[in-house]
Structure 1
Amino acid sequence: MGRRLLSVALGALAVSTAALAQPVEVATLSAPDFFSNGARDTGLGPDLWRRASAQTARTVIPMLGAKPLSPAAQALARRVLATGASGPETAGQDPELAGARINALIAQGAVKDAAAILSRTANLDRSPTLAQAGAEAALLAGDEERACDLAEGLTAGREEIYWLRLRAYCQLRAGQAGPAQLTFDLAQGVARDAVYGRLMGAKLAGGGDPGAPSLRNGLDYALSRGLGLDVASAKPSPAMAAALQPTDPGPAVWTVEGSDQIHTAMAAVAVGDLAGAQTQRASLTADTVAVNDLALLDALISAASGKPDGPTLDRLVERGGAGEAKTRGKMQNAAILLAALGAPMTPQARGEFAKFTAAEPGKATVARGLALDLAGAERVPGETALLALWMSADAGAAGPPVGDRARIIRALKAAGLEDDARAFAVEGLLAQR
């Protein structure tokens, strides 16, 4: 019996040894895709960035954290950047770009979206850029402990100037006055900064005149608040202005000045009250309101409803050929935008439309405009959005000129981003009032 058990045991050992001798395949874990972490349901799918250019992403996304955008562009930026979807090409594994994405969201007032994404992002301590975005978001939210935890746990880039400055602040906050002074001196020796110097210097001294508050970034904001300064009196950077006035996710809205009937109806469209605008429109006639104003209001309602119609466009085309040059130009611009949204035209209207000369020409390069056209036609939504945002960022807070805006509208609609196409059309039409 004992020999049989020994024989079985030896046989099992032989099998185990043979198995161990076999080559073992080791699966390599893929790098994390930072863009897969989303903030909320944006209505965009997981294939948002499919076939999108990583190079375009690396060009445009940092731009969105540095330049002001119009309401329509801002809403588009927040929507695409808050979406959880595998990043374009290899860009999803780029922590620098992931940090730029967070900074762009913060700069567009989407602080909650940025915080939600960061809460789902692992290994922030390994990326100085991502960690800095997290620290800034925490400082803006008043969560200084979270910012200091990120500074303390950072495993790479600790010697960078941002982290030296933040670490000095955190050390003083923890009651470590001596180390805080040493770190402060080191930071000023590496890159002297007068604003940080006077604010942090007053903090270290426990008194004295710190000067005016500063709102260049989250660290300046935390220092200014900690010193009891009136931060409301400081002029914030554009990104800080948006970050300190966070808004909830939603469609773009605009402000329309004026209290007469036509402006009240337009204001209803501007805040998304389409039913209210339609009710007010029903009470207006050409006897009480200028014909051009009625034509523009009809175009606004048509664009906002997502049902751009031929008769409304025909009236704009007709008005674009009548009256003074200034009013003709506004009607021509409106006709171009409604046509870009897909309103049909009769052959006669097309003939008149082709004669229009008043529209503002586009400022984007020919290559960029063509790239936008191609991305839209090939239904590549992420890249289409980025190219539209590139044109918008170059144009500033007023939004792109009519020539570029019309291309953006057509491309967004072709790529399946119809809500955003309507927003760009409504914004452009409101500018003609």
Structure 2
Amino acid sequence: MSRTLTVMTLGALLIGAAPALAQPAVEVTPLAAPDAFANGARDTGLPPELWRGASVETARTVLPLLAARPLSPAAAALARRVLATGANGPEGAGQDRELAGARIAALIAQGGIKDAGAILSRTSGLESNPVMAQAGAEAALLAGQDERACDIAEGLASGREEIYWLRLRTYCQARDGQTGAARLTFDLAQGVARDAIFGRLMGAKLAGAGDPGAASLRGGLDYALSRSLGLDLAAATPAPAVAAALAAGEPGPASWSIEAGPGPLKAAMAAVAAGDLAGAQSLRAGLTADATPVNELALLDALIAAASGKPDGPTLDRLVERGAVEGAKTRGKMQNAAILLAALGAPMTPQARGEFARFVGAEAGKASVARGLALDLAGEAKLIGETALLALWISAEAGPAGPATGDRARIVRALRLAGLDVEARAFAVEGLLAQR
């Protein structure tokens, strides 16, 4: 009887366990790869939706431009802030490691060395993509971490025959005492793309003697070579990335260096340019209309209004008035200044608007109609990243002096509408300083 109970009890246990044994298989969904743009350097104050609605094609056009071309101080500051922000990239960009590398390369080129280093420290698999790897190597060279740069070059999975890597391998081999291998790689590099500056610097390093000439600071590799040769770095003109490395500090907000005199009016303008708004306001308080040229006083008032973020109507009215009555030599400058202050949101009276609409002496824009309209539309739709990219596209094509007034005014207005107020003011101040 006990045997019967035991069998019955075991059967009941097995029947009770049947549902547990028959549980359906768990479906495992692989995790999506992290977005390559999500790694940020710091809190820039921009939202996680930075790239909402942005065109990936525009990003693929603009980011390489920013890595290759110098920008004005206002444009460079905009680029650093936007590119240092951690946010999911434009649709289609999240897994594009080449585009992510172009972002970091652009950040480095505009002086954001520490920001680039912070992003790279959170990015894995640098060696899997030549663009990403080059950004990592340049950041390491600029930070004085030559061994890290050489490790990246050694571990590169593809693109090893590209000229950048040939030159970097030459330097690394010479640095490690592999003179014979370095000479072969040097000859190969010069055969692929001869570079006179690299040739004289590396030639002197390989020879261990001779005059290498002046230092060169075009980028991280030039900087490393010139430093290793003991050359006078202060005598060379550095690219923005190298200048940031030499300064051992991250660039701040946009600023400009202009002569501070003679006289309090020019000193006040120089104070605005240097970011000393309080000093400029103090100097302005001591100026009187009867003792100061009216045009210059109007321009100073516009500068202070733009820098403070309080573009007032009376100041704009005075600029419009001067732009309507001045002689040909200064009319254009007053009109340019009025256009920039109007783009920043200063109100106008009906009479001022009537005069303003007659202006023909201001500097016309040079960007295509389509690109200007795309910028307008992006700003009105508050597409922050798209607006910034289009503004930077126009700026990169304009060069280090910055865009023409017609293009600049559209940039100022679009940035302001998109919520990039600090950058809008910087573009306006930069344009107003050009009218002094």
Cα distance in 2 for residues equivalent to 1:245 and 1:67: 21
SS across alignment from 2:77:
helix
2:42 counterpart of 1:48: no
Q: Deviations over 1:374-413 (max 9, x none)?
A: 0000000111011111111111111111111111111111
Cα distance in 2 for residues equivalent to 1:155 and 1:4: 66
Cα distance in 2 for residues equivalent to 1:78 and 1:53: 19
Cα distance in 2 for residues equivalent to 1:141 and 1:393: 26
Cα distance in 2 for residues equivalent to 1:207 and 1:318: 67
Q: How far off its partner does 1:297 sit? A: 1.3
Percent sequence identity is 73
Cα distance in 2 for residues equivalent to 1:6 and 1:110: 72
Note the 1:381-420 alignment, pairs <5 A.
381-420=384-423
Give 1:376's aligned amino acid. G
Q: How far off its partner does 1:221 sit? A: 2.6
Q: How far off its partner does 1:18 sit? A: 4.2
Cα distance in 2 for residues equivalent to 1:15 and 1:92: 44
Cα distance in 1 for residues equivalent to 2:429 and 2:290: 26
Q: Deviations over 1:237-272 (max 9, x none)?
A: 676556655653422111232221111111222222
SS across alignment from 2:361:
coil
Aligned to 1:113: 115
TM-score, normalisation: structure 2: 0.89
Q: Deviations over 1:139-178 (max 9, x none)?
A: 1221111112222333333444433432343344334455
Distance 1:6 1:161, change over 3 A: farther
Aligned to 1:87: 89
2:318 counterpart of 1:315: yes
Contact kept in structure 1, 2:141 and 2:221, CA below 8 Å:
yes
Cα distance in 2 for residues equivalent to 1:111 and 1:42: 15
Aligned to 2:308: 305
Q: How far off its partner does 1:29 sit? A: 2.4
Cα distance in 2 for residues equivalent to 1:431 and 1:190: 42
Q: Which ranges of structure 1 fall in alignment gaps of 5 or more residues?
A: none
Given candidates 294, 297, 303, the residue that maps to 2:297 is 294
Distance 1:156 1:17, change over 3 A: farther
Distance 1:342 1:190, change over 3 A: closer
Contact kept in structure 1, 2:112 and 2:241, CA below 8 Å:
no
Contact kept in structure 2, 1:96 and 1:130, CA below 8 Å:
yes
2:352 counterpart of 1:349: yes
Cα distance in 2 for residues equivalent to 1:8 and 1:181: 83
Q: Deviations over 1:317-337 (max 9, x none)?
A: 111122311222221111111
2:148 counterpart of 1:143: no
Cα distance in 2 for residues equivalent to 1:290 and 1:192: 55
Contact kept in structure 2, 1:110 and 1:246, CA below 8 Å:
no
Distance 1:353 1:83, change over 3 A: same
Greater shift in the superposed pair: 3-12 or 123-132? 3-12
Distance 1:247 1:316, change over 3 A: farther
- Aligned alpha-carbon RMSD (Å): 2.8
Cα distance in 2 for residues equivalent to 1:398 and 1:246: 25
Distance 1:198 1:299, change over 3 A: closer
Q: How far off its partner does 1:194 sit? A: 5.4
Note the 1:63-74 alignment, pairs <5 A.
63-74=65-76
Contact kept in structure 2, 1:139 and 1:219, CA below 8 Å:
yes
Give 2:291's aligned amino acid. T
Contact kept in structure 2, 1:314 and 1:345, CA below 8 Å:
yes
TM-score, normalisation: structure 1: 0.90
Q: How many residues align?
A: 431
SS across alignment from 2:289:
coil
Greater shift in the superposed pair: 293-302 or 146-155? 146-155
Distance 1:71 1:169, change over 3 A: closer
Cα distance in 1 for residues equivalent to 2:9 and 2:110: 74
Note the 1:236-385 alignment, pairs <5 A.
240=242, 244-245=246-247, 248-257=250-259, 258-385=261-388
Q: How far off its partner does 1:89 sit? A: 1.1
Aligned to 1:98: 100
Q: How far off its partner does 1:196 sit? A: 4.0
Q: How far off its partner does 1:88 sit? A: 1.0
Q: Which ranges of structure 2 fall in alignment gaps of 5 or more residues?
A: none
Give 1:114's aligned amino acid. A
Give 2:114's aligned amino acid. K
Give 2:67's aligned amino acid. G
Distance 1:393 1:243, change over 3 A: farther
